[in-house]
Amino acid sequence: MLLLAVAACSNGPKQASDGPFPAADRPVANIVSPRWSNEQDRDSRDEAQQVMAKAGIKPDMTVADIGAGEGYYTVRLASRVGKGGRVLAEDIVASVRDSLAERVARERLDNVSVRLGTPSDPKLPANSFDRVLMVHMYHEIGQPYEFLWRLRPSLKPAGLVVVVDANRPTQHHGTPPALLRCEFAAVGYTQVGREDMPSAGGYLALFQAIGPRPDPDAIKPCLNR
């Protein structure tokens, strides 16, 4: 059983919270671009194929691509899960969502749908996903406890959340692994795997929702020390 980690990273301002969920005691990175890196460069490092293999993504699975941006992972997930699988690509910026929808239509990705979420709620259908993928975007979530709480019902019983991020402070567009583990654990997720992923510019961590979902006011935030 993993212990709840008290995570450390560079000091920064606390995030405000208007509802019952605790605020994150850490900085949140700004969204700077829907493109994390050039797709050809990422393919030359075999990034997507390695991440999908380590995440256990297989044909016929249903996968959510959160913070899909221009769709680098979306189109590759569509090929990997095949005609018997489904991919839901989500973004919180309407213009980005619209551009991705145009790409999906242009490339005739019939097993892909595109959805607009909000910063604190990905708005995913319940009991639907074998994997939920979040690549280089977790540090941009301003209300991580609410986001993870609202994400939990979308997972199938054996579903996993897959996070790829850099090992650096959140204000520098990364998430220290201990902080990530702590924030997920606060909402009832257990880390079931982690390994370095140089091809993806950081590390990959796997989480499974185990046990009951805590009440929002019972969530204890991780301290930023």
Does 71 map to a domain? Answer: yes
- For residue 114, which phi and psi values (nearest 5 degrees)? -125, 135
Contacts of residues 19-24 at CB distance under 8 Å and 24 or more positions apart, as own/partner, are 19/146, 19/216, 20/216, 20/217, 21/143, 21/145, 21/146, 21/149, 21/216, 21/219, 22/145, 22/219, 22/220, 22/221, 23/143, 23/221, 24/142, 24/143, 24/144, 24/145, 24/183, 24/221
CA-nearest of 72, 26, 68 to 174 is 26
DSSP state of 74: H
Does 199 map to a domain? Answer: yes
More confident residue, 120 or 3: 120
As a whole number, the mean pLDDT across the chain is: 89
pLDDT confidence of residue 3: 30
Flag the least confident range among 57-61, 109-113, 220-224. 220-224
Does 90 map to a domain? Answer: yes
pLDDT tens per residue, range 11-46: 444 455 567 999 998 888 886 655 556 788 888 888
State which residues form the domain around 104.
Answer: 39-218
Structurally, the chain folds into a number of domains equal to 1
Does 192 map to a domain? Answer: yes
pLDDT confidence of residue 10: 35
Average pLDDT over residues 51-79: 97
Does 26 map to a domain? Answer: no
Average pLDDT over residues 171-200: 94
Does 11 map to a domain? Answer: no
pLDDT tens per residue, range 104-150: 999 999 999 999 999 999 999 999 999 999 999 999 999 999 999 99
Task: Please name the residue that has the structure tokens 């690509």.
Answer: 89
User: What CATH number has the domain bearing residue 75?
Assistant: 3.40.50.150
Considering the entire predicted model, what is its pTM?
0.88
More confident residue, 11 or 85: 85
pLDDT confidence of residue 201: 86
